[in-house]
Amino acid sequence: MMDLKISEIINALNGKMLQGDKNILINGISTDSRTIKKGELFIPLKGNNYDGERFLGDALKIAAAALTANEKNKKLITYDKPLIYVRDTFEALHKLSRYYRDKFNIPVIAVTGSSGKTTTKDMIHAVLSKKFNVLKTEGNFNNEIGLPLTIFKLNKFHQVAVIEMGMSGFGEIKTLKDISNPDIAVFTNIGVAHIEKLSSRENILKAKSELIEDFTTENTIVINADDDMLIKLLNKKDVQFYTYGIRNGDYRAYDIIQFEGGLRYKFKTPFESMNVELSIPGIHNVYNSMAAICIGLKFNVKKEDIVKALREFKPGKMRLNIINTGKIKIIDDVYNANPDSMKAAISVLREMKQRRKIAVLGDMLELGDYSDKGHRDIGEYVYISGIDILITIGNLAEKIAEAAQNSGMAKDNIYICSSNTEAIDILKGKIRNNDVILVKGSRGKKMEEIVEYLKGDYERIT
């Protein structure tokens, strides 16, 4: 982060100085008193189950300055560090991050969608990094707190920013768009993630479309043209479009060949073609990589550099990582789950040839009224994909087991568990040498515990 003067922050927020020196410089922003560093501004946030103002005194022992929404807090501070009063600290976080964003005249690429947005964002970063110094969203910093903190990481050496945008309801994408002021929007797909709040895919599209409400001829939209909802965005006039897909779009993938641990395909544009190879499996990653290629071409990255970046690309932690222990293979995809990403992961498992296939699947959360159908659809997909053993974890995932059995999967090959520990006990007696095991479920199920067991206990397998 570039330095900001306290006086500059006060003016940007229309705040009130309660104490301290207005000439002090801030070199970072933090909302967590536990990880605060010297030189940072502490912004205490308030939620349903926490109040950052309680830790104001502790934070100011280290921080250079702080905001507060309570003027009385001045009495709690016994040392003379800058303390700035604002009406609402959450609003101040957003306002200050937009002020900081406007200091940079660089293109910002926003990536959103129901699934695949993190991998797509990371692939775009990998491609653009062959030519530019690129800032990207790290981890899950894609919400109304994380995105502003990402913006504050911009520095004078950055030439492009790739920002991931998540959401669960209406208005959230608009807030993120207003903060980051993106020039380019990338849409991966419209599935059923977060359908609990939004009720339908139509509403999910509407919420995601807040990103491009005020896009003009100066803006670009990149969309998956094989998605039946996203193609509706093509009605937007006076915007440059890049459309990609396997069946539809101006930019197409064809001659796709999948192999264990990766795939290759030919990519054709209106002007040229290229041979692409990925070191990660899954047809869904063809789509993710095509979005990255479109962005690379728009930014005039050399074709050979695009191909090299994608060939070298590795996914983030817990995202479709294939781990070869020497005796078994683990498909670690426990970061999160919805019906679309669950089917994509099962497809990867299905393509593992000449191996016995075990799927360990947990609850998919936040599906609302779609939950029953969503889980049952996965059960049917497990059966038609030829999975040998199914282990489910959680009350919701029982529907996966029921649907798999009703579809024709042998009851003796289906195990219903209530906890990760119970699933591990089942695995202990079932794993054989050369098995491939998919582990996937919503983040709240903490299924990385199973992955860690499999990674650490493979020597026992005979």
Q: Are 349 and 258 in contact (CB under 8 A)?
A: no
403 token code pair? 């649907």
The segment(s) of the chain belonging to CATH 3.90.190.20 are: 321-460
Known binding-site residues equal 113-119
Candidates 3.40.50.300, 3.40.1190.10, 2.30.30.30, 3.30.70.980; correct CATH number of 104-312?
Answer: 3.40.1190.10
What is the distance between the alpha carbons of residues 445 and 124, in angstroms, rounded to a whole number?
29
Q: Where in the chain is the domain with CATH 3.40.1190.10?
A: 104-312
Q: How far is CA 322 from the centre of its chain?
A: 19
> For residues 325 and 390, what is the distance between their CA atoms, to the nearest angstrom?
21
Fold classified for 321-460: Protein-Tyrosine Phosphatase; Chain A (3.90.190)
From CA 244, how far away is CA 226, in angstroms rounded?
8
- Rounded to 5 degrees, what angle do the CA atoms 55, 61, 67 make? 55
Q: Where in the chain is the domain with CATH 3.40.1390.10?
A: 4-89
Q: For position 460, what pLDDT does the model report?
A: 47
Out of 3.40.1190.20, 3.40.50.880, 3.40.1390.10, 3.40.50.150, the CATH code matching 4-89 is 3.40.1390.10
Q: Which residues are within 8 A (CB) of 459 and not within 5 positions of it... i.e. 6 or more apart?
A: 327
CA 186 to mean position of chain CA atoms:
13
What does the alpha-carbon distance between residue 275 and residue 289 come to, in Å, rounded to a whole number? 12
Per-residue pLDDT of the chain (462 residues; tens, 9 = 90+): 999 999 999 999 999 999 889 999 999 999 999 999 999 999 999 888 888 888 898 899 999 999 999 887 766 565 688 999 999 999 999 999 999 999 999 999 999 999 899 999 999 999 999 999 999 999 889 999 999 999 999 999 999 999 999 998 999 999 999 999 999 999 999 998 778 888 899 999 999 999 999 999 999 999 999 999 999 999 988 899 999 999 999 999 999 998 888 999 999 998 889 999 999 999 999 999 999 999 999 999 999 999 999 999 998 777 788 898 888 999 999 988 899 999 999 999 998 887 899 999 999 998 988 999 999 999 999 999 999 999 999 999 999 999 999 999 999 999 999 999 999 999 998 999 999 999 999 888 899 999 999 988 544 444
Reference 348, options 440, 434, 453; nearest CA is 440
Note whether 224 and 116 are within 8 A (CB).
no
| Predicted local confidence at residue 316, as pLDDT | 77
How far is the C-alpha of 223 from the C-alpha of 320, rounded, in Å? 23
Distance CA 6, CA 20 (A): 9
- CA 320/CA 330 separation, integer angstroms: 9
d(CA 409, CA 411): 6
CA distances from 345 to 45, 284, 319, 351, 446 (A): 37, 9, 10, 10, 17
Structural element, H or E, at residue 347: helix 339-350
Q: Binding site membership for ATP: which residues? A: 113-119
